[in-house]
Every structure is written in structure tokens, then in C-alpha cells.
Amino acid sequence: MASAPGNDRHAISTVWAAVVEGIRDNSSGLAPVVRVCRACVGVLPVDGASISAATADHGREALYASDPVSGRLTSLQFTLGEGPCVESIDAGRPVLVPDLSRAVTSSWPMFAAEVGALDVAAVFAFPIRSGAIDIGTMQMHRRRAGALTAAELSLALRVVDVAAVALLALHSAPGARVDGEWLAALPRDGIAIHQATGILTHQLNIPAKEALTRLRALAFATGRAVDDIARDVIVGRSSLSDPGG
């Protein structure tokens, strides 16, 4: 059953508050990443979550997994070089696999041969980006098969937006103003718009200003919010190949 908009707002506020507290907590540099993973499992119908960071050599560094299965699922894919997370990185879009038993054999044969040993039936992989720049990956899994509802996917994308801020906080240069007060003041929906603008800039080879203009034009033409259009771009539901979408 889809959750009500009010419940979604409360859920994302819970994740946001967890990351703010993580940034304020000086005991661990990974605190924001840890807290967004844990909060993700609390607000979405998933059994585990993990976040990996992009490295300078275009590889991946696993930062945190909420449980051993998440950790094994992440390392398996990066070791084999295939799977939902790897495809999500290569395609620059979410890869949603609601039933692994139906999807993996032809798409990812080596991954298919290994993943059966894990208690995983569905995987949802999301690239984490800052504009057009790849900064990491977030993966969620569940033990039972089944797709995310439209409302759950929307909430998952918002969680990934917050994960992007957590990674940016982690990688900020010493002395940069990345703290709880800074994070709490961020326009939350603006993160999705920033990511979508970067995707369009890369896909269409246009300036960021033009990409943003196209987002706004389609929002105006359809009577929808700009951040909703942005999330359509992020999940591949809209390419905005021309100003009319």
C-alpha cells in the first residue's frame, strides 16, 4: 500500500534529522553515512542498505552496510564487475530488480551464480551524484520479491538525495562549512534538481543553465513541481530531449 504524502514527509524528515545528527557527531567521520543507511531501513520496506563511495581510479570503496548480507551483496558485485550496482553506475540511473530470480541469469551470469547463496530476493541500486559527477552508490535489498510502489520509489530517491549530502559532508575539505546547521538549512528538493540538471548536461551536451531551463519549462507546461520532473529524469522516465520533454 502506498504511503500518504504526510507520512513520506515525516519519513524523509527522519532520515534528514539522522544525517544532521551524524554530521554534528564528531566521534566518527562516517557517522552521516551510517545514519542514513540505518534510517533508510527504518522508513522503507527494505531489509538492508549500503553506501559505497567513488574512488579516484573510478573504482568503489564500500563505506557502510547495515547488515552482513548488504555488505556481501555489495562486495560480490564490485568483485565480479557486474550486477545491479555496477549497471547503475555505468548507466547513471537507478536499476530496480524486484525479483532477482527472474532477472539476473541473462543480465549478470556470474552474479547470478553467486547471489543465490544470499537471502536476497530484490535489489534496488541508485547512483549518488553531485550534478554530473559520480560520487557513490546506494543499494537497498529485501528478502522477499516485489517492486517498490511509486510512493516508495519517490521516498527512496529522496533518501538517496540525503545520502548525496552525507557523502559530500564526508569528502569536504578541512575547514569547509559542512555542519549540522548548514545541512538543516539546505533546500531539500533542490538536491534532486541539481542532480537532474547534471544528468541532462551530460546526456544532451548542453550548458547547465539550459538544462535547468528545460526542467522548468516542462514543469510549467505540465503543471507539475520542478522537483517531480527532476526525479523523473533521475529514474529515466523523462529524457527532456527537446524543451517540451
- Three-class secondary structure assignment of the chain: CCCCHHHHHHHHHHHHHHHHHHHHCCCCCCHHHHHHHHHHHHHCCCCEEEEEEECCCCCEEEEEECCHHHHHHHHHHHHHCCCHHHHHHHHCCCEEECCHHHHHHHHCHHHHHHHCCCCCCEEEEEEEEECCEEEEEEEEEECCCCCCCHHHHHHHHHHHHHHHHHHHHHHCCCCCCCCHHHHHCCCHHHHHHHHHHHHHHHHHCCCHHHHHHHHHHHHHHHCCCHHHHHHHHHHCCCCCCCCCC
CATH of the domain at 226: 1.10.10
Quick one: 121 and 209 in the same domain? no
Of the three residues 165, 184, 203, the one that is the final residue of a domain is 184
Q: Report residue 171: phi and psi, to 5°.
A: -95, 5
How many domains does the structure of the chain reveal? 2
Candidates 63, 32, 67; CA nearest to 159 is: 32
- Mean model confidence pLDDT for the chain: 77
Q: What pLDDT score does 65 carry?
A: 93
Quick one: 157 and 201 in the same domain? no
For cell 529522496, the residue is 158
Q: Report residue 54: phi and psi, to 5°.
A: -70, 145
Neighbours of 14 (CB within 10 A): 14
Using the predicted structure, report yes or no on whether residue 33 has a pLDDT greater than 60.
yes
Quick one: 155 and 196 in the same domain? no
Q: What pLDDT score does 95 carry?
A: 92
Least confident of 69-83, 120-134, 191-205: 191-205
Quick one: 158 and 212 in the same domain? no
Provide the residue range defining the domain that includes 231. Answer: 188-235
pLDDT band at residue 208, thresholds of 50, 70 and 90?
confident
